[in-house]
Amino acid sequence: MLLREVEYAKPSSVAEALALLVADDGARALAGGQTLINVMKARAASPDMLVDLNGIDELKGIELAGDGTLSIGPMTTYSEIVGSAEAKARPILGEVCAQIADVQVRNRGTIGGNVCANDPTNHLPPLVAAVGATFHIAGRDGVRVVPADEFFLGVYLTAVGPGELLTRITIPAGKGDGFAAVTLGADGTCIANAAASVNGSVRVVLGCVDAVPVVVSPAAADDESVRAAVRGAGLRPPGDVHASSDYRTHLAEVLAVRAVRTAVERAGG
């Protein structure tokens, strides 16, 4: 398919990329391209310029600090996270990345692209929200740090504004995590998903049911408490050809329970 005419630049540093993004309102960052290129084919987005981040080494790689905190470059691919020894400090990350689409997509698609796209059916927005990630966003006034609860603003919309770039994602240590999804075929697009973390308190984040991941905080980790918390969230998810609004609401409850059960098991193990 022929894309609309577009300019392309391949900066080698964050500073260069920011200069390009700031100078042109129609410039968009190109990460793995596994969403954006297709969106451009459909003319659902028509940027004037693509700023390819694939040449910026400082946006890649995973570091593990002494206290177990992971620092992940947004241009790290799903495959790199799956294969990373460091990322095993928070095992759920690799487990969920291994469920995204297929080998080819995992080889190109990036954690930063996934969260910045904030497609409500994506796997990683609810997951990073459940594990308490923080996001480092660079702009012309320097770098600001945004917690997950303030990162996702709307469908396809995050705290990374025009002329800004996500430069780092940090994730604290922990192992009491779970993730459950009902997908279109094995490893396909999520119809509904839920991520849970029981490192200390119980935190459940529901995907596919609203414009942004929905955080619920059950009083306890037992099934009935989790179900009650999801019911109390007053979900009114969209209905589509794959699931009615009512069915998606039902799935959210079921998947929340499954994710929490896994998280509890992992926390105790």
Among residues 2, 234, 268, 269, the one that binds other proteins under rule CB under 8 A? 2
Residue 103 interacts with other proteins (CB under 8 A)? yes
- Per rule CB under 8 A, is residue 17 in the interface with other proteins? yes
* Nearer CB in complex with other proteins: 69/183: 183
Residue 198 C-beta: closest distance to other proteins, Å: 29
Among positions 14, 22, 45, 52, the unique one binding other proteins when judged by CB under 8 A: 52
Instruction: Restricting to residues 186-215, name those near other proteins by CB under 8 A.
Output: 186-187
Interface residue with other proteins among 10, 227, 242, 250 (CB under 8 A) is: 10
Residues 54-83 that bind other proteins (CB under 8 A): 54
Three-state SS string over the chain comes to CCCCCCEEECCCCHHHHHHHHHHCCCEEEECCCCCHHHHHHCCCCCCCEEEEHHHCHHHCCEEECCCCCEEECCCCEHHHHHHCCHHHHCCHHHHHHCCCCCHHHHHHCEHHHHHHHCCCCCCHHHHHHHCCCEEEEEECCEEEEEEHHHCEEECCEECCCCCCEEEEEEECCCCCEEEEEEECCCCCCEEEEEEEECCCCCEEEEECCCCCCEEECCCCCCHHHHHHHHHHCCCCCCCCCCCCHHHHHHHHHHHHHHHHHHHHHHHHC
Q: Which is nearer to other proteins, 7 or 25 (CB)?
A: 7
Work out whether 244 is an interface residue with other proteins (CB under 8 A). no
Residue 120 sits in the site that holds other proteins (CB under 8 A):
no
Q: Does 3 bind other proteins (CB under 8 A)?
A: yes
**Residue 20 interacting with other proteins (CB under 8 A):** yes
Q: Which is nearer to other proteins, 183 or 245 (CB)?
A: 183
Residues that bind other proteins (CB under 8 A): 1-12, 16-17, 19-20, 24, 27, 33-34, 37-38, 41, 49-52, 54, 101-105, 107-108, 186-187
